[in-house]
Amino acid sequence: MKASINAREVTYQIEGESGQAEDKVLLADSIDLTRGTPWAGAGYTVAEFLPAPEQQQLQEGLAVLVREALAAAGLPVAADFPIADYHKLIGDDQQRHLAVVNLTKESTIERLPVPASLLEARVSELCGHPVQAYNPFDQMRLFHLRLVRPGRSDNNPLHRDVWLPDYDNCINIYVPVTGSTADSSLSLVPGSHWWPENRVERTQNGAVYNGVTYTVPAVKHAVEPLQLIRPNPGPSEVLLFSPYLLHGGAVNLNADATRLSLEMRFWPV
Model confidence over 140-190: pLDDT tens digits? 999 999 999 998 878 889 999 999 999 999 999 999 999 999 999 999 999
CA 220, CA 218: separation in Å to the nearest integer? 6
CB neighbour class for 50 (10 Å; exposed up to 12, middle 13-18, buried from 19): buried
Is the pLDDT reported for residue 263 higher than 90? Answer: yes
The pLDDT, as a whole number, for residue 225 is 86
| Least reliable range by pLDDT among 22-31, 75-84, 211-220 | 211-220
**Adjacent-strand bridge partners of 241:** 44, 172
DSSP state, residue 72: H
DSSP state, residue 126: H
Helices (DSSP H) in 22-162: which residue ranges?
52-72, 86-90, 94-104, 116-127
Give me the mean pLDDT over the 54-73 stretch. Answer: 98
Is the pLDDT reported for residue 126 higher than 90? Answer: yes
The pLDDT, as a whole number, for residue 20 is 83
Contact 62, 50 (CB under 8 A): no
Q: How confident is the model at residue 15 (pLDDT cuts 50, 70, 90)?
A: very high
Between the CA of residue 220 and those of 45, 51, 184, 187, 249, what are the distances in Å? 27, 41, 22, 17, 11
Chain-centroid distance, C-alpha 13: 20
* Global confidence as pTM: 0.96
Is the pLDDT reported for residue 223 higher than 90? Answer: no
Is the pLDDT reported for residue 250 higher than 80? Answer: no
CA 199, CA 262: separation in Å to the nearest integer? 30
| Percent of the chain predicted with pLDDT > 90 | 86
